Structure 1
Amino acid sequence: MPLDNIRGGGVSIESFESGLTSNYPLTLAVSPLKEIKAHLKYDAAALSEEEISWFIKNLSNLFAVIIENKSDSLREIKNIITPPGINKTQIPNEHPGNTSTRKYIAPRNEAELMLVGIWENMLNFQPISVDEDFFDLGGTSIIAIRLFTEIEKRFQKKLQPISLLNHRTVEALSKFIAEENKEAKFSSLVPLRASGSKPPIFCLHAGGGHVFFYKDLAKHLGPDQPVYALQRLGVDDLTQAAQDIESTASYYLEEIRKVQPKGPYSLLAYCFSISICWEMVRQIQEAGDSTSVIAMIDSSPPLQVHKRTNTDRLNGVVNRARALDFSFFKTIWQGRVVRPIKVKWISLVSNRESIQLQKKLKALTLISAAYVWKPRPAKITLIRSAPFLLNERKNQKFSKWQDLALNGVDTYVVDGHHRNLFDEPEVKQLADQLKQCLENANNLYKANNFDKANN
Structure 2
Amino acid sequence: MNLAVEPSTDTDHARPRDPAEIWVARHWQDVLGFGVGIRENFFGVGGNSLDAARVINSVLDEFDRQLPLNAVMENPTVERLATLVREENGRALSLPLVEIQSGDGSRPPLFLVHPASGQVGAYCDLARALGDEFPVFGLQPVGLYTDAAPSTTIAAMARRYLDEIRAVDPVGPYFLGGCSTGAAVAVELAGLLTGAGAEVRLLAAIDHDLVDPAAGLVDSALRQLAQGREPAEVLAEWQEHDLVPHDEAPAFVTRSLRVWQANQDAVRDWRPAHHAGRLDVFGGRDRSAGWPPGMTEQAHECPAGPDGTHVQSVADELRTLIG
Same fold (TM over 0.5): yes
Match runs of 1:41-440 below 5 Å: 136=12, 138=14, 141=17, 160=20, 162-166=22-26, 168-169=38-39, 170-171=75-76, 173-174=80-81, 177=84, 182-183=89-90, 185=92, 186-196=94-104, 197-237=106-146, 239-298=148-207, 343-346=227-230, 349-351=233-235, 352=250, 353-384=252-283, 388=284, 400-401=290-291, 404=292, 406=294, 408-416=296-304, 425-439=309-323
* Deviations 1:48-67 (CA, angstroms, capped at 9, x unpaired): xxxxxxxxxxxxxxxxxxxx
Partner AA of 1:429 in structure 2: S
Query: Compared with structure 1, are the counterparts of its residues 424 and 210 closer, same or farther at alpha carbon in structure 2 (3 Å cutoff)?
Result: farther
Distance 1:180 1:349 in 2: 24
Query: Compared with structure 1, are the counterparts of its residues 132 and 228 closer, same or farther at alpha carbon in structure 2 (3 Å cutoff)?
Result: farther
Q: Is the 8 A contact 1:241 1:360 kept in 2?
A: yes
Deviation at 1:383, TM superposition (A): 1.4
Query: Compared with structure 1, are the counterparts of its residues 358 and 162 closer, same or farther at alpha carbon in structure 2 (3 Å cutoff)?
Result: same
Alignment length, in residue pairs? Answer: 239
Q: Is the 8 A contact 1:189 1:230 kept in 2?
A: yes
Partner AA of 1:199 in structure 2: P
Distance 1:226 1:350 in 2: 33
Distance 2:164 2:15 in 1: 28
Deviation at 1:137, TM superposition (A): 6.7
Structure 1: runs of 5 or more not aligned: 1-104, 106-130, 145-158, 300-338, 389-393, 440-455
Deviation at 1:271, TM superposition (A): 0.8
SS in 2 for 1:241: coil
Whichever of the two has the greater Rg, that structure is 1
Q: Is the 8 A contact 1:378 1:405 kept in 2?
A: no
Query: Compared with structure 1, are the counterparts of its residues 213 and 164 closer, same or farther at alpha carbon in structure 2 (3 Å cutoff)?
Result: farther
* Deviations 1:286-324 (CA, angstroms, capped at 9, x unpaired): 21212010011137xxxxxxxxxxxxxxxxxxxxxxxxx
Identity %, equivalent residues: 21
* Deviations 1:50-98 (CA, angstroms, capped at 9, x unpaired): xxxxxxxxxxxxxxxxxxxxxxxxxxxxxxxxxxxxxxxxxxxxxxxxx
Q: Is the 8 A contact 1:379 1:406 kept in 2?
A: no
Distance 1:231 1:238 in 2: 14
Deviation at 1:277, TM superposition (A): 1.2
Partner AA of 2:81 in structure 1: S
SS in 2 for 1:437: helix
SS in 1 for 2:172: coil
RMSD over aligned CA atoms reads 3.8
Distance 2:227 2:87 in 1: 41
The structure where helix makes up a greater share of residues is 1
Distance 1:241 1:438 in 2: 31
Deviation at 1:340, TM superposition (A): 7.4
Partner AA of 1:191 in structure 2: E
Partner AA of 1:267 in structure 2: L
Tell me which moved more, 226-235 or 253-262: 226-235
Aligned partner of 2:58 in structure 1 is none
Deviation at 1:139, TM superposition (A): 6.3
* Deviations 1:393-450 (CA, angstroms, capped at 9, x unpaired): x69969x44xx2625221111125xxxx9x97421111111111212xxxxxxxxxxx
Aligned partner of 1:156 in structure 2 is none
The structure whose RCO (Cα within 8 Å, separation 6+) is larger is 2
TM-score, length of structure 1 as denominator length = 0.45
Q: Is the 8 A contact 2:274 2:294 kept in 1?
A: yes
Q: Is the 8 A contact 2:176 2:203 kept in 1?
A: yes
Distance 1:234 1:187 in 2: 9
Distance 2:167 2:178 in 1: 20
Partner AA of 2:302 in structure 1: V
Distance 1:410 1:379 in 2: 7
Aligned partner of 2:53 in structure 1 is none
TM-score, length of structure 2 as denominator length = 0.61
Partner AA of 2:299 in structure 1: T
